[in-house]
Amino acid sequence: MDIIIVGCGKVGTALADVLNDEHNVTIIDKKENLVEAASNDYDVMGIVGNCLQTEVLDEANVDKCNIFIAVTASDEVNILSCLIAKKMGARHCIARVRSPEFDKQLVFMREELGISMMVNPDYNAANEIAKVLRYPEAINIESFAKGRVDLAEIRITSGSILDGVALSQLSRRMRLDVLICAVQRGDELTIPNGNFVLRAGDKIHMTASHSNMVKFFKSISAAYREKRVKSAVLIGGGRVAYHLAQQLIEMGVKVKIIEIDRDRCLELSDRLNKVDISCADGTDHDILEEERVYDADAVVTLTGIDEENILLSLLAKNNGVEKVVTKVNRMSLMQLSDTLDLDSIISPKTITVNQILQYVRARQNSMGNSVTTLYRLVNERLEAIEFVVRDEKDYVGVPLKKLKLRSGILIASIVRGNELIIPKGDDCLKVNDSVVVVTTTKGMHDLSNIFD
């Protein structure tokens, strides 16, 4: 497909990086140095210019564009450039829109203005954080098959009932249908077989139905009910904090926001009347003690500086906070999570890239590709992909034990109608099944690619 990306910031360059292998990608930005760097790094066509000028879009061949993606720093520029691109012949348009002021107009923009997709990274980041706080034991949770399948990342702690368990014995011991798809032990990432033995310190990625996932968390933690987050402190009062506070209040969580900017505090007080707003410097240790931050069940660090968020999270962990979530955008810093033993790291940039990639995959799907959902995990070393079996292929109807999978691949789940199947050797794939595959191999475009 022909794809145009407007904006060479973190999201734009990340999209160029992952899309250029499969598509014809053109990037547009006003800054020549950014365009030149992205063109050289990712081998894409670069155009220096204003995306609101028709001659610039003409140069990018917008009339032949399958997907136009606007991710500049300005909501208004993103929306307007999509409208112009759509008028000039772009088939599908995606705009990143961050301001809460546009929240109530998303349906209008999609239905009346023809913008195919509106992505709000702050709202989506808040969703992910809220999901993690619902299950404090989880580091991260993703969903497939319209929410029928959960993929959770969990760290095995010392003394856990999972410590020392062979995977072949897991379902019998837990009395639950769950599957361990991948294990990260130190720097080593493994797609395990039944003989693999879990150890304390391992990070595991597992699939299960939503109900079995809840039962699993209850089984591994005798104090599950007591661990439920009842109070949370958000350090930093930006847009993510605003959206997150709304969701936590709906979950029955007592919320406090610490924000240094007085005007922003007044704005948050007007919009969030059930939230305790404290106008103070959340990076000051004395302030944190004075505000009794360490007494909270959860602390979420949401300042605009990654390093500050990491240090504040470490401080909260060292002072006994049970659940800590850290907002980090820079990939180089995200990779420190294992070294520093941080709980959960959320990246609005990564969430936005994944969401846009899912839309691109969906458009490919309409052109014959069978990928519907894709998540990149473990610092992009692991992919979890949802395929749909669309035709009678040679692997359909054959017991899985008779099919040979390529190395580094595991079939994690099969969804057939409303039924979730944790696959075993005698199970078969059927037409219209949704199949979740976990792999350390990148670039899987079709379900047939997983077989040797």
pLDDT at 227: 64
User: Between the ranges 10-19, 226-235, 261-270, where is the mean pLDDT highest?
Assistant: 261-270
154 Rama sector, left if φ>0, alpha if ψ -120 to 50, beta otherwise: beta
Contact 202, 155 (CB under 8 A): yes
Instruction: Judge whether 67 lies within some domain.
Output: yes
Q: What is the band of 162 on the pLDDT scale with cuts at 50, 70, 90? A: confident
pLDDT at 149: 85
* Long-range contacts, stretch 34-39, CB < 8 angstroms, 24+ apart: 34/8, 34/9, 35/8, 37/8, 38/8, 38/12, 38/13
pLDDT at 102: 77
Q: What is the DSSP string of 87-108?
A: HTT-SEEEEE---GGGGGGHHH
The answer on 408 and 302 residing in a single domain is: no
Structural domain boundaries enclosing 410: 356-450
Instruction: Judge whether 50 lies within some domain.
Output: yes
- Whole-angstrom distance, CA of residue 265 vs CA of residue 157: 39
- Whole-angstrom distance, CA of residue 218 vs CA of residue 224: 5
* Number of domains forming the structure of the chain: 4
Q: Please compute the mean of the pLDDT values over residues 147-153 and round it to a whole number.
A: 84
pLDDT at 337: 62
The answer on 308 and 323 residing in a single domain is: yes
Instruction: Judge whether 200 lies within some domain.
Output: yes
Instruction: Judge whether 351 lies within some domain.
Output: no
Whether 429 shows a pLDDT value over 90: the answer reads yes
177 SS3 class: coil
pLDDT at 452: 80
Which residues are CB-neighbours of 347 under 8 A, at least 6 positions away?
Answer: 125, 327, 328, 329, 334
Flag the least confident range among 1-5, 133-137, 375-379.
375-379
Instruction: Judge whether 422 lies within some domain.
Output: yes
The single-letter code of the amino acid at 95 is: A
Instruction: Judge whether 60 lies within some domain.
Output: yes
Flag the least confident range among 22-31, 143-152, 390-399.
143-152
pLDDT at 223: 44
CATH of the domain at 218: 3.30.70.1450
Whether 160 shows a pLDDT value over 60: the answer reads yes
pLDDT at 291: 93
Instruction: Tell how strand 203-209 and strand 149-155 pair up.
Output: antiparallel
Chosen domain end from 316, 346, 376: 346
pLDDT at 224: 44
43-85: pLDDT as tens digits: 899 999 999 999 999 999 999 999 999 999 999 999 999 999 9
The answer on 396 and 369 residing in a single domain is: yes
The answer on 210 and 180 residing in a single domain is: yes
The answer on 221 and 236 residing in a single domain is: no
Take residue 368 and report the two structure tokens written for it.
């014959």
pLDDT at 67: 95
The answer on 234 and 222 residing in a single domain is: no
The answer on 162 and 89 residing in a single domain is: no
- Whole-angstrom distance, CA of residue 153 vs CA of residue 227: 17
85-111: pLDDT as tens digits: 999 999 999 999 988 777 767 667 776
The answer on 173 and 70 residing in a single domain is: no
> Which residues does residue 138 pair with via DSSP β-bridges, in sequence order?
154
Whether 403 shows a pLDDT value over 80: the answer reads yes
Whether 334 shows a pLDDT value over 50: the answer reads yes
- Whole-angstrom distance, CA of residue 106 vs CA of residue 115: 9
- Whole-angstrom distance, CA of residue 345 vs CA of residue 328: 7
Whether 172 shows a pLDDT value over 90: the answer reads no
Whether 228 shows a pLDDT value over 90: the answer reads no
Q: What is the band of 225 on the pLDDT scale with cuts at 50, 70, 90? A: very low
Chosen domain end from 290, 314, 346: 346
The answer on 86 and 43 residing in a single domain is: yes
Instruction: Judge whether 390 lies within some domain.
Output: yes
Instruction: Judge whether 207 lies within some domain.
Output: yes
Chosen domain end from 185, 207, 226: 226
Instruction: Tell how strand 179-185 and strand 149-155 pair up.
Output: unpaired
The answer on 214 and 234 residing in a single domain is: no
- Closest CA relative to residue 183, chosen from 438, 3, 403, 423: 438
241-292: pLDDT as tens digits: 999 999 999 999 999 999 999 999 999 999 998 999 999 999 998 999 999 9
CATH of the domain at 17: 3.40.50.720
Tell which wins on pLDDT, 143 or 267: 267
pLDDT at 63: 95
The answer on 220 and 241 residing in a single domain is: no
The answer on 111 and 16 residing in a single domain is: yes
Q: What is the band of 216 on the pLDDT scale with cuts at 50, 70, 90? A: confident
Take residue 382 and report the two structure tokens written for it.
């692991």
Whether 391 shows a pLDDT value over 70: the answer reads yes
Q: Please compute the mean of the pLDDT values over residues 138-167 and round it to a whole number.
A: 84
